[in-house]
Structure 1
Amino acid sequence: MSEAYLYPGTKVLINHAGLRDQELLDIFERNRSAFRLMELQAKPIQGNFDMGHLQAIHKHLFQDVYPFAGNLRTTNIGKDNFWFSDYPSISFKANNIFTALKEDNYYQKLKPEQFADKVAVLYSDLNYLHPFREGNGRSTREFFRHLAENAGYELKWSNVPKEQYMEAVIKATDNPSKYMGDLSQVFLKCIKPEAPEWTTPEQPLPLKDVIKLAEGIPGIHNKLNITSEMLKQPVERFKIETTGKGNEKLQFQFKNSQEIHKVLLEKPPFMTAQMKSQWLELAANNIGPIQMKNPGLEL
């Protein structure tokens, strides 16, 4: 472990906050990088899906924490007796990796299974590269979220338990020929979640409370015109699923009705759960608008 990155006599990375306690640094890093990640999710960094693009993401995520944010490491690093790529060859290997990605048209127009196979190999290659002294995983995951979106997919890491994802990455990096298929299956689950089952609450919920359980709210171009009275009407069963465009589809059935209604939900940026709840209550009492104005949301 190179001393150049550490405070003298410690194993703590030099940081902008001057923290020399690892536990405090972990908390500081987690909070600041989480805030910066929210910024990227609202306004992604534009790039060419190359090393420069990955470095820009790393710099944004860790700009408040580490002086080396966005810079390639200048020391060799390893974990649990596994050594990542030697640092002098990082740029050369990265050029080969990202050139191949460009020649493969950034995995666009691929079926889910094909896309999962491709990104599994790419992820394993970048994990072995481990180009930064710290923060490789978070930067790489955000890079892949952008890459998936560019290829027409929504990549949701939460679809797979963190332990399962980490185990698949480690095994695929250590023994690609044997375990790459496991990592491919992880990516397939992250871009192709299983269809949700119908939820039947013990007591019927008013439609406004069902919508509160989702992340989005009804878009204006739904074929179903939701009224204030409908928001107060009890729902017998419902299910919420994520669409390929990053929105949600709500299906529900009112009490004492056989008809199944479908509504596309939009996720407005920066709308908190509290704001959404207040908006629905106002709409249910015929005080505010029922649907958001967003052209292109049709179901």
Structure 2
Amino acid sequence: MSEAYLYPGTNVLVNLAGLRDQELLDIFERNRSALRLMELQAKPIQGNFDLKHLQTIHKHLFQDVYPFAGNIRTTNIGKDNFWFSDYPSIQFKANNIFTSLKDENHFKHTTLEQFANKAAALYSDLNYLDPFREGNGRSTREYFRLLAKDAGYELKWSNVPKEQYMDAVVKATDNPAKHMSELSAVFLKCIKHDSSEWNTPEHPIPLKDILKLAEGMPAIHNSLNITSDMLKQPVERFKIEPPGKGKEKLQFQFQGSKDIHKVTLEKPPFMTAQMKNQWLEIAANNVGIIQIRSPGIGLGD
């Protein structure tokens, strides 16, 4: 492992928070990348499904954590006696991989089985490439979510236990001829025809963070009164419909609930996104109903 990425005398990656304790860095990285991933659920990164697209995703996910976010690694790395692609050849190999993907029209117009087989082979190639010093898995999974959506499928990694998915990836990368079918089976369980625009975060996130992704706030005339406690409840899935007649529509489902809630959002006048986010954090720690009150907003009694 190259010392260039590490704090001297440690195995801890240099990070923007200056943390030199691996456990604290793991927590910080997990929390910050989860919030950034949540942003991508609502506003996906557009691209050509090439290396630059993957780099942009990585940069967004880890922009708060690592100074090398979005950059191709400049050292050789391995895990459990398995070495990934040597770093000088990453660009060359990536060009071949993504050129082949483009030639196959990004797997559009495929059956579920065809997509699963092709996606498994591509995933195995990208896993061996391992282009970043850290954060390859999360970036690759988001990349494949977008690739699947572009091909007309919805991909939910949560359909398969993480241990099963990781085991299939490792086996397929180590011995593709023998184990690729296991990774194909994982993809088959994780994909279905995309018949909706629901966003399903990798981990449930509180309602207050969903509202931060929208421009507006819950309007006063909604039949559902948003309370401070609700702002802290984890949301399993959601979708924000673009403004119609100046208003957004938010639909969401709390974790463990079968109910789908629908809320109209209005943008408070003179309120910036930063002000709105700060207010949501304050509101989540108060008691009451969240309402818009012209010309501003406030807590109900």
User: For the superposition of Structure 1 and Structure 2, which TM-score range results when normalised by the shorter chain?
Assistant: 0.5 to 0.7
Amino acid aligned to 2:254: A
The size of the alignment, in residue pairs, is 210
- Superposed, 1:251-290 pairs within 5 Å as 271=252, 273=254
- Superposed, 1:134-213 pairs within 5 Å as 134-192=134-192
Please report how far the alpha carbon of residue 271 of structure 1 lies from its aligned counterpart in structure 2 after TM superposition: 4.2
8 A contact 1:42–1:269 mirrored in 2: no
Counterpart CA distance in 2 for 1:278 and 1:113 is 31
Amino acid aligned to 2:95: N
Counterpart CA distance in 2 for 1:75 and 1:98 is 22
Compare CA radii of gyration and give the structure with the larger one: 1
- Per the alignment, do residues 22 and 105 of structure 1 end up closer, same or farther by CA in structure 2, a change over 3 Å counting? same
Q: Does residue 1:47 correspond to 2:58, yes or no? A: no
Q: Deviations over 1:202-237 (max 9, x none)?
A: xxxxxxxxxxxxxxxxxxxxxxxxxx9xxxxxxxxx
Counterpart CA distance in 2 for 1:37 and 1:74 is 25
Amino acid aligned to 1:79: K
Counterpart CA distance in 2 for 1:158 and 1:139 is 16
8 A contact 2:7–2:14 mirrored in 1: yes
Aligned to 1:13: 13
- Per the alignment, do residues 116 and 269 of structure 1 end up closer, same or farther by CA in structure 2, a change over 3 Å counting? farther
- Per the alignment, do residues 47 and 278 of structure 1 end up closer, same or farther by CA in structure 2, a change over 3 Å counting? closer
Q: Tell me the TM-score normalised to structure 2 length.
A: 0.66
Amino acid aligned to 1:90: I
Counterpart CA distance in 1 for 2:164 and 2:252 is 31
Structure 1 runs of 4+ off > 6 angstroms?
Answer: none
Going by fraction, where is strand more abundant, 1 or 2? 2
Aligned to 1:211: none
Amino acid aligned to 1:163: E
- Per the alignment, do residues 42 and 279 of structure 1 end up closer, same or farther by CA in structure 2, a change over 3 Å counting? closer
- Per the alignment, do residues 182 and 9 of structure 1 end up closer, same or farther by CA in structure 2, a change over 3 Å counting? same
Aligned to 2:102: 102
Please report how far the alpha carbon of residue 269 of structure 1 lies from its aligned counterpart in structure 2 after TM superposition: 5.1
Please report how far the alpha carbon of residue 148 of structure 1 lies from its aligned counterpart in structure 2 after TM superposition: 0.1
Q: Tell me the TM-score normalised to structure 1 length.
A: 0.67
- Per the alignment, do residues 279 and 161 of structure 1 end up closer, same or farther by CA in structure 2, a change over 3 Å counting? closer
Counterpart CA distance in 2 for 1:37 and 1:269 is 19
List gaps (5 residues or longer) in structure 1: 194-227, 229-241, 248-267, 281-299
Aligned to 1:78: 78
Q: Does residue 1:133 correspond to 2:121, yes or no? A: no
Q: Secondary structure at the match of 1:154?
A: strand
Q: Deviations over 1:60-106 (max 9, x none)?
A: 00000000000000000000000000000000000000000000000
Aligned to 1:92: 92
For the aligned residue pairs, the C-alpha RMSD in angstroms reads 2.5
Counterpart CA distance in 2 for 1:134 and 1:48 is 23
List gaps (5 residues or longer) in structure 2: 194-222, 224-236, 240-248, 263-301
Please report how far the alpha carbon of residue 273 of structure 1 lies from its aligned counterpart in structure 2 after TM superposition: 3.1
Please report how far the alpha carbon of residue 192 of structure 1 lies from its aligned counterpart in structure 2 after TM superposition: 3.8
Q: Deviations over 1:137-165 (max 9, x none)?
A: 00000000000000000000000000000
- Per the alignment, do residues 113 and 9 of structure 1 end up closer, same or farther by CA in structure 2, a change over 3 Å counting? same
- Per the alignment, do residues 94 and 279 of structure 1 end up closer, same or farther by CA in structure 2, a change over 3 Å counting? closer
8 A contact 2:158–2:190 mirrored in 1: yes
8 A contact 2:251–2:260 mirrored in 1: no
Please report how far the alpha carbon of residue 32 of structure 1 lies from its aligned counterpart in structure 2 after TM superposition: 0.1
